[in-house]
Amino acid sequence: MPGPTGRSQVSSPPSSIVARFAMSLPRPLRLLLLIVLPLLAVLIALVYSLTWRPLPHEEAAVSCSGQVAQLQPGQALKVMTWNVQYLAGKRYVFWYDLPGGDGPDERPSSADLAVTLDEVVRVLRDEQPDVVLLQELHDNAKASDYQDQLALLQARLSDLYPCSTEAFYWKAGFVPHPRILGSVGMKLGTLSRFQIARAERLQLPLLDSDLLSRQFQLKRALLVSYLPIRGGDELVAINTHFDAFAQGADTMQRQVEMTDGLLQQLQTSDKTWVLGGDLNLLPPGQFQHLPEDQRSWYAADSELQDLARRYPMIPSLQQASGAQQAQWYTHYPNDPAASGPDRTLDYLFYSPRLTPLASQVRQRDTLAISDHLPVIGRFFLPTQE
């Protein structure tokens, strides 16, 4: 458009504006900018290349080998959820295990990783659940010899579990934390004796943090697997591990709300489903039983109640808060002050379309395997209508 003098006015490109601004600075500042700006660009590119940014919804790869049977209407179904603590065993107090973040240990030994793998395989072979929901499996993490732990389990259990799927919830080529200083990789893994037709990863709400920290932090998720049932129905198996150390923020509540939204959607669609995992949430009544220095990690008014009011669960609130609650404890802290399991953090929630048959927390021979204990539920699938 012509200006007051009749000449066309052309806006200066942004690069010219920046150049003029830089030239107006004193020479020492210009030299500083010439050094700092390229370094900043390199730093941003480095962080971007080392970290991982999953989409809100992604397809999860499914692996099935050979001819795999489908679930049958009305059949018995056994489900286990277990946080295996990246096969570290129970001889350590890791730096993040104490409230002050000052635990002495940073990683398990290679020998302990091997022994714990043997023990997890032993328990799975003994129980032989139909569907196994595993949390805290490492993959390419410096702290566990860069193992792909789901692949190690599959190699030992391929005769029982021809199908599997997985979803990362922590992945970075290098984390500049002084107690890590290397790569991290952690994922959910689902093993199945029966066909998994498809699976998806749904991103849970993230812990609030600054932009740089967010690139390196855990990105919790729901791993949703769809198992066909002969006749046209399907079982939806959901595997998850909610955030920890999130008090003072609404992260846990938002993760509960998103999970509840998915379960309500499945209920509305008349789907058969089961959800299992380490929710890092106490049942009502257990908060008061914890030592004072352990309470800061949890809300006195547990967010778990929102799910417990809507859906049947293992353990039930009565079991986890009653006189026999100790037999339903699922967490044995890596803390010298803890002499055994002292709280419940792991659960199975299930569709009212499933008929419950039996349930337990396997405590008798699992206390030295992980800081979490396996939760097991047995059900009948609905019969064909």
pLDDT value, residue 163: 98
Angle among Cα 27, 30, 33 to the nearest 5 degrees reads: 155
* pLDDT tens column, 202-221: 999 998 888 888 899 999 99
pLDDT value, residue 22: 55
pTM of the model: 0.90
* Distance from C-alpha of 376 to C-alpha of 362, rounded to nearest angstrom: 7
Q: What share of the chain is helix, strand, coil (3-state, %, to 5)?
A: 30, 30, 40
Q: Which residue has the tokens 């210009």?
A: 30
E strand spans, the chain: 57-59, 62-64, 76-83, 131-138, 163-175, 182-192, 198-203, 221-229, 233-241, 272-278, 313-314, 346-350, 355-361, 375-380
Helices 27-50, 14-24: axis angle to 10 degrees equals 130
Confidence label for 4 from pLDDT (cuts 50, 70 and 90): very low
Helix and strand totals (H; E) in the chain: 8, 14
CA distances from 167 to 64, 91, 134, 156, 221 (A): 16, 28, 11, 20, 8
Confidence label for 16 from pLDDT (cuts 50, 70 and 90): low
| Residue 282 identity (one-letter amino acid) | L
- What are the sequence ranges of the domains in the chain? 1-50, 57-380
* pLDDT tens column, 82-139: 999 999 999 999 999 998 889 999 999 999 999 999 999 999 999 999 999 999 999 9
In this predicted structure, the answer to whether residue 235 has a pLDDT above a threshold of 50 is yes
Q: Of the candidates 156, 122, 150, 118, which has an alpha carbon nearest to the alpha carbon of residue 137?
A: 150
In this predicted structure, the answer to whether residue 359 has a pLDDT above a threshold of 80 is yes
Q: Taking a C-beta distance cutoff of 8 angstroms, is the pair 71, 235 a contact? A: yes
Architecture of domain 57-380: 4-Layer Sandwich (3.60)
Q: Taking a C-beta distance cutoff of 8 angstroms, is the pair 191, 164 a contact? A: yes
* Distance from C-alpha of 167 to C-alpha of 146, rounded to nearest angstrom: 17
Q: Which of 13-22, 173-182, 206-215 has the lowest mean pLDDT?
A: 13-22
55, two tokens: 């989409």
* Distance from C-alpha of 14 to C-alpha of 347, rounded to nearest angstrom: 56
* Distance from C-alpha of 136 to C-alpha of 86, rounded to nearest angstrom: 5
For residues 179-193, average pLDDT: 97
pLDDT value, residue 8: 46
Q: Of the candidates 126, 135, 124, which has an alpha carbon nearest to the alpha carbon of residue 192?
A: 124
Q: Which of 8-22, 25-39, 256-270, 302-316 has the lowest mean pLDDT?
A: 8-22
* Residue 246, Cβ density class (10 Å: 0-12 exposed, 13-18 middle, ≥19 buried): buried
pLDDT value, residue 364: 95
For residues 190-208, average pLDDT: 97
DSSP 180: T
Is residue 12 helix, strand or coil?
coil
Confidence label for 249 from pLDDT (cuts 50, 70 and 90): confident
144, two tokens: 């566990």
Instruction: Put the strands of the sheet holding 355-361 in their side by side order.
Output: 62-64, 163-175, 182-192, 131-138, 76-83, 375-380, 355-361
Q: Taking a C-beta distance cutoff of 8 angstroms, is the pair 145, 155 a contact? A: no
